[in-house]
Structure 1
């Protein structure tokens, strides 16, 4: 599938005036032409929630292409409703503006994973991996990565008891491709308990740009920092897709603190975002959460109805985790937890190779 077409499908845009539409198409065409001339580079793409949850690299290209969509009534500037229970999003928006957003590198460490039943269906396994990414503010710089498979283990104390009763196996073999993370053993139908060795590498394959503004993604000063502006940029014909786009921006893009605050205020105003209250995220951290029905499907081959939960630290305003569960039995289908994310002038991976 063409990369740009895939992104257009994932990020449909709200209606624009004819002049803005023509200007946007002209900028997009020029940007695509420049990319085709750039040797040794290829445009990566957003792949929805699966991008972070499946352990893909940080969001690389956010292409906003004008598209036909139902007219959305204009919002009153500065007015953002926060239905009962979602006020913590506004508190997070106020807190996150104090987080520094200047530096030579955007560093993030994510833990991605999923839960699934062992072959005999006797207990649930949780499989995970860590992904450390360092994106340069310099658009010509190399992006650095460190990946590590963290292994698989019983998901809960009850599952651990069933695992011990089954002889404490260190690997599990499925009849077909193994569920969970796309490890080298997965095509063989094998899931292993043992962690892997870390792998560190750098690449120039990603061109971190936002095409509409023609700015590096690590320098997102042109991205709106108001809820109304973000809705115009990330909005879609339905609220579900707008929520998905906003969540991806919060969790996977090195946006400024003001833009992150605007994203929280936008989420607080959208119907379909329901407050959950105090929760513990997948890494055991305390936070406040909202849930919604995603317009996207989890990367796992699950056909049932799902709910996606965003867990936020209301004190710092930083996102903690994004988790997708089965509505039927609450099984944690996939997740991304943000262990750390920050702007800094130092890249600890740069001297490792």
Structure 2
């Protein structure tokens, strides 16, 4: 797969072929071609942003601990008997299936009231390596979208760059040694793709609007779908899987030259259902139950997203034709059954990720809010 195909493959599946402006395309370039930092000799690989990932390449992960109350035995030691140790609650781990089924139950209970627009707010983060100085740079952008519930309307979008900054205290020191530049030229791996210059200043909000594709298409879900399609998806996990897999053709969500297993494809496409698509609570719950039946899904507990919110990560591994493996993970809030963020983590460096550290998060999209509104953009 050439670099351009890899760029397309890293684009979130549910965004599909919607028109995008130059700033958005630059962010997508980061998603496919950039990595958080170069491996440094003699250093211990560490995840970006201080995430609680105990090792992205670990073969075994644990889930939420459940306290088991134990009783029995004297409350205090007697004069003739030695003190008894206070029993500790044993750690009980849940399987990926159990965690996802629990999340499904919470998702089913979500309450919604349909409005004129489906509104969502996300913050995207991409890490780069500075061309001079070799320090890691985090670029951030806030995006907002309004999708009309009625056909024939327009889809609105707003984006604002939040500015680039050194990723850690050590990177900040290196940035300062380089003269604290306000414009940072960063490395974009891939032959012929050129460089990219990031500003440390916040940008102005830019708003755009476009007619719906064909007058009624609103999202991509293996194929272009209408609001009626989304609202009419089956709440039964087996039927939902059958509906989605009807669009699976053995390759990736973007490139026909990229082979992809059905499990990985289903996971990628389903993220939109859980994260930010206007589906019913029953369908969101069905998506969790559908993923619970995938053998390739793994769980990592106590993971903080880029916004500092702690959750449980549900993930699958993606292998790239040019080498390397990434973990594609959904961080969810088990208390509510809502998705918090979608992240890509380096598991095995290779190809365009050959110089990236295992455990590094090279792209993150944090969902700030999503829901119905009657307020116009």
TM-score band w.r.t. shorter chain: 0.5 to 0.7
Aligned-pair CA distance for 1:45: 5.4
Pick the aligned partner of 1:116 from 105, 123, 128. 128
Give the secondary-structure state (helix, strand or coil) at the position aligned to 1:294. strand
**Superposition deviation, residue 218 in structure 1:** 6.0
- Tell me if the contact between 1:217 and 1:253 (Cα under 8 Å) persists in the aligned partners: no
Indicate which of 273, 277, 302 corresponds to 1:249: 273
Of residues 118, 143, 150, the one that matches 1:106 is 118
Question: Does the aligned pair in 2 maintain the 1:136–1:218 contact within 8 Å?
Answer: no
**Inter-CA distance 216–205: structure 2 relative to 1 (3 Å threshold):** closer
Counterpart CA distance in 1 for 2:221 and 2:337 is 28
CA distance in 2, matches of 1:99, 1:336: 24
Q: Distance in 1 between matches of 2:222 and 2:329?
A: 29
- Are 2:296 and 1:272 equivalent residues in the alignment? yes
2:169 corresponding residue in structure 1: 157
1:240 to 264, 272, 275: 264
SS in structure 2 of the partner of residue 129 of structure 1:
strand
Structure 1 contact 273–291 (Cα < 8 Å) conserved = yes
Cα offsets for 1:47-89 (capped at 9, x unmatched):
9xx99x739xxxxxxxxxxxxxxxxxxxxxxxxxx97145332
In the alignment, which residue of structure 2 is the partner of 1:326?
A: 346
Q: Of the candidates 173, 179, 185, which is equivalent to residue 188 of structure 2? A: 179
- Aligned length in residues: 270
Per-residue deviation, 1:215: 6.6
Could you say which residue in structure 1 is the equivalent of 2:372? Answer: 343
Aligned-residue RMSD, C-alpha: 3.6
**Residues 262 and 211 of structure 1, relative CA distance in 2, 3 Å threshold:** closer
Q: Residues 283, 245 of structure 1: CA spacing in aligned structure 2 closer, same or farther, 3 A cutoff?
A: same
Secondary structure of the corresponding residue to residue 208 of structure 1: strand
Structure 1 length-normalised TM? 0.66
**Residue 91 in 1 paired to residue 102 in 2?**
yes
Unaligned stretches of 5+ in structure 1? 1-5, 12-42, 56-81, 181-185
Structure 1 segment 59-98 matched on structure 2, within 5 A? 84-97=95-108, 98=110
Is the contact made by 1:218 and 1:254 (CA closer than 8 Å) also made in structure 2?
A: no
* Cα distance in structure 1, aligned partners of 2:116 and 2:96: 38
Question: Using the alignment, how far apart are the partners of 1:167 and 1:213 within structure 2?
Answer: 49
SS at match of 2:318: coil
Task: Please give the secondary structure, in 1, of the residue aligned with 2:292.
Answer: helix
TM-score, normalisation: structure 2: 0.63
On the 8 A contact 1:95/1:317 being kept in 2, the answer is yes
Query: What's the offset of the Cα at 1:94?
Result: 1.6
Measure, in 2, the Cα distance between the counterparts of 1:308 and 1:160: 28
Q: Which residue of 2 aligns with 1:141?
A: 153
Deviation of residue 140 (structure 1)?
1.3
Partner of 1:70: none
Which structure has the bigger radius of gyration?
A: 2
User: Structure 2: how far apart are the matches of 1:168 and 1:213?
Assistant: 46
